[in-house]
Chains A and B, each alone.
Chain A
């Protein structure tokens, strides 16, 4: 039997405090730089060496915490006493690290009251580095080990550690940044005090103004956003329902083709639709040109503004609503409809009195999903918005524009956050009541009732033209990559691709990636490839903890996790630059901040696919492993993971693909060194260089389609190979 000792973790903490350089190294870490003892330069030294040789007294509490935890980490002794040492050591260590990090910044004391208390400090410190990070997480694990030893989490160190790391990451990378943003609202401005500045920012006609009701002026961005999100959600839900009904309730021969539509939003960079619409309805778009040539009409630039953004969002999000509603329509038990028909109801009455009411909560859910997507959307409004501002674009311009007004960005972000959270809470309530949409899992016998004639005609007449239009928009968008100047010079050309992806043979014979897009493409792929396994790993771990473990605060953890997913990307982007631009975590401009952003933005994908797969897996399988002396980690590695392979692959693929197409948060975080593909494209769009932007989008789409196709092929063949072994995956209650 293994001894449950925390010595290994304690050693990690000791390594982080005594040996590794505490702070971030400007020029990167070298192998010799790893030893922070005896360093001349205080910044390159370990915490211990800084305290001893450089008189940085604020590291003594951290070192003291390490000493406190030691008796608890030794393998012998009374469990209660050991757990007390671990818990107190861990808590003290975390508190000491956080306190010293927040108290002392680049200009000495971070807060005036500290200066008053301790006098001027003629020292300063930069962002935390390897040593600090290792020490921080080691203290978290010492704390959770102590709690497990005390009997929390059923005494399971792995579970308590996993929960501890999850909680710490949520606090660090969501709660802290969001709170920082919110606190920015209260910074004084000019000669205004805290309250006055806050009031001035909040009561802003640019946010809340209603002038558009009476005059020909723009309303406040809040109303713009609300109007846009409401109309988009309504339209996309109606369209999505039409598609869902056609796919599940009619014999339409191209059903499979329609289902492919659901893949589109995943692989489409967020502004492809916008570009396609510009190429059709823009000033030099196809429709405008024809109208002018044939009828002599000047259609003008109506596409830039509400109409354009609305159209683009409906195109973009209808597939999302479709995807949600397929599940809803398929979830309605056919027996209900058959019962209704045997009770002498007509098809129409069955549809209106049984089918539709059963779908209502699902429809509400789809509506809210689209509402939130529209709210958080950045790509479409930035391309097509013109003077029609919404919250996400206003935040962007408040930060990057000439004004550089972080206070204003914070207020806008807070408004957006509140709207998103309200939608999220309503959605939870709605989905909670959905349980009566039969999810029994028992094979419901019976055939779904065919749609009433009138409904069928309606669905087809709405959905089919829209599907055709979607294809046209995509086709136009793609075609734009192959003509010289859309609308003026229709000469077919590959020059856009050449500018972006030119390859040359260097004089020495090596290949030179001389195209302008290579750099951002490689960076994107590289960072997405780093983020994907991390996302999948944390996501599955969270899913496992949430579905398989019962502990105090589980619901709270689940809620916190879901809540972080509801924070719009733009808010996260602003929050990250505000929070991580200064010590103690100074990671703006690094690749790390981008990876962290990807991970926490895409975590829901990992969690959701993990939860779905985990609920298919008999819980007693992992319990059996644990009673068979397997450590929890071994149980996961040898039993849960092998049975979850398809879910892992899904999580990997989707987090990779989404990392490549995301724009809202990363646009704030890119730097010259780490430029992302989407940001590169959007800058080309803003400069009017549509050809190159579209060419790049085309390459991205093809790249991602091939990744998804390849993975689907692999997963598909795997499932075939496992067929013989598959049935016992659900032995519960089954008689083999």
Chain B
């Protein structure tokens, strides 16, 4: 594992059709070397198909694909320098863990003894030293996951692909495994493409996130960009809880838009929008309960307050519709039916085109 930085993956107009069905619409995407990029989206959005096209398990019907500058569009999976960790791990049940990890090396023509030595080293990297003689069935889910990672890593691929690798693990293990994967990727400088439908997983591990919807890219950017500046209501709601309320842009001056939300007026970055109706996306944690005399507030009624231990969840009825809010514990003294006034922390509010 000597390589410092993984290879760049460049997709130029890559698309996939099955007969009439467009599984992935032609799209462009550059994945920089040494970064971890997540493909995130609901099931059926085309993210797994896209990953399998990079792996060479599906043939693109449109466009060209470059890995490390080399055109691999027509190359079969085995001749691309990529490895993949499967959702089901796909460990060969009839081979020992060591044979599993060494499989790719032996396939590429390495002598079995050398391959085993290298496989031992790879197992050590993932913290499974001395487990080589076991069968996959004799290991726990998390251990099997590590074997699958070791098996992919040992080939020193230019690109490492993960297809929902943590979906078979329980919640606690998932958290620690994703941190391990991230640490490993950074330590070895790997290029990783990672498919998941879990936004918190994506936020935790990614350098960049590509949100997909209906076979195309909805938005690509850093986790922070996607969370704080979503380009659409879909991205906003997919990247976490969000309220969508109708607003009106009254004027735009110097990049700041004056927006009316019901009776409340706020100044927000205009994001290129013109005066007129627009959607306002409000994160639940951006809603504050204000003193009665504060300016620019929205009158509301507490219609539900749910005590959640670490915080309290509120549902407010307002003139612009229901608002979902998360407040710190001390606010739990507001009762259902109580009249309050709401203010906004503008960090968590963003304008999107209607």
Contact = CB atoms under 8 A, between A and B. Distances in A.
Given A154-B76, A630-B103, 10 more contacts: A618-B90, A623-B77, A623-B90, A624-B92, A631-B107, A632-B76, A632-B78, A722-B94, A731-B89, A736-B136
Given A620-B87, A736-B141, A634 B73 contact: no
B48 to A, nearest CB: 11
Contacts of A150: 74
B58 to A, nearest CB: 7
Interface string B243-277: 00000000000000000000000000000000000
A642 interface: yes
Given A627-B82, A630-B78, A724 B135 contact: yes
Interface string A155-189: 11000000000000000000000000000000000
Interface in B133-190: 135-141, 144, 151-152, 155, 168-170
Contact of B88 (A618, A643, A722): A618
A569 to B, nearest CB: 37
B108 A621 contact: no
A511 interface: no
Interface in A704-731: 722, 724-729, 731
A733 B79 contact: no
B79 A4 contact: yes
A154 B90 contact: no
A627 B83 contact: yes
A67 interface: no
Considering residues B77, B138, B140, which has the most beta carbons from chain A within 10 angstroms of its beta carbon?
B77
Contact of B108 (A1, A642, A732, A734): A1
Considering residues A1, A155, A726, A729, which has the most beta carbons from chain B within 10 angstroms of its beta carbon?
A155
A725 B82 contact: no
B168 A735 contact: yes
Interface residues of A, number: 41
Given A151-B73, A628-B104, A725-B137, A731 B57 contact: no
A55 interface: no
Nearest to A159: B76
B151 A735 contact: no
Contacts of A618: 88, 90
A620 B77 contact: no
Contacts of A195: none
17 contacts: A151-B73, A155-B75, A618-B88, A620-B86, A620-B87, A620-B90, A624-B151, A626-B57, A627-B78, A628-B155, A629-B108, A724-B135, A728-B91, A731-B93, A732-B88, A735-B168, A736-B137
B77 A151 contact: no
Contacts of A733: 88, 168
B55 interface: yes
A343 B137 CA distance: 44
Interface of B: 55-59, 73-79, 82-84, 86-94, 103-104, 107-109, 135-141, 144, 151-152, 155, 168-170
Interface of A: 1-2, 4, 79, 149-151, 154-156, 618, 620-621, 623-632, 634, 638-639, 642-643, 722, 724-729, 731-736
Nearest to B139: A736
A638 B100 CA distance: 11
A213 to B, nearest CB: 51
A101 B152 CA distance: 52
A4 B74 CA distance: 12
Contacts of B169: 735
Contacts of A634: 107
Nearest to A621: B90
B93 A643 contact: yes
A731 B104 contact: no
A31 B180 CA distance: 64
Nearest to A1: B79
B88 A626 contact: no
A627 B136 CA distance: 19
Contacts of B86: 620, 623-624
B76 A155 contact: yes
| Pairs of residues from A and B, 3 with the lowest C-beta to C-beta distance, nearest first | A628-B104, A624-B90, A728-B93
Contact of B136 (A623, A625, A639, A731): A731
A482 to B, nearest CB: 49
A155 to B, nearest CB: 4
Contacts of B138: 724
A155 B264 CA distance: 61
B148 to A, nearest CB: 8
Given A151-B74, A620-B87, A628 B137 contact: no
Given A628-B83, A628-B151, A154 B78 contact: no
A728 B136 contact: yes
Given A1-B108, A736-B144, A731 B74 contact: no
Nearest to B137: A728
B57 A627 contact: yes
Given A642-B94, A731-B90, A630 B107 contact: yes
B135 A624 contact: no
Contacts of A620: 86-88, 90
Contacts of B84: 623-624, 627
Nearest to B79: A1
B344 to A, nearest CB: 43
A492 to B, nearest CB: 54
A157 B203 CA distance: 41
A627 B56 contact: yes
Given A1-B108, A154-B58, A79 B144 contact: no
Considering residues B82, B94, B109, which has the most beta carbons from chain A within 10 angstroms of its beta carbon?
B94
A79 B73 CA distance: 12
A593 B89 CA distance: 46
Contacts of A155: 56, 59, 74-76
Contacts of B107: 625, 628-631, 634
A621 B84 CA distance: 12
A634 B88 CA distance: 21
A154 B88 contact: no
A626 B137 contact: no
Considering residues B92, B140, B141, which has the most beta carbons from chain A within 10 angstroms of its beta carbon?
B92
A629 B89 contact: no
Given A736-B139, A736-B140, A79 B74 contact: yes
B116 to A, nearest CB: 15
Given A724-B135, A731-B89, A626 B140 contact: no
Contacts of A630: 78, 103-104, 107
Contacts of B89: 731
A628 B82 CA distance: 8
Contacts of B92: 621, 624-625, 638-639
B88 A731 contact: yes
A150 B73 CA distance: 10
A634 B77 CA distance: 13
A419 B198 CA distance: 56
A26 to B, nearest CB: 45
Nearest to B81: A1
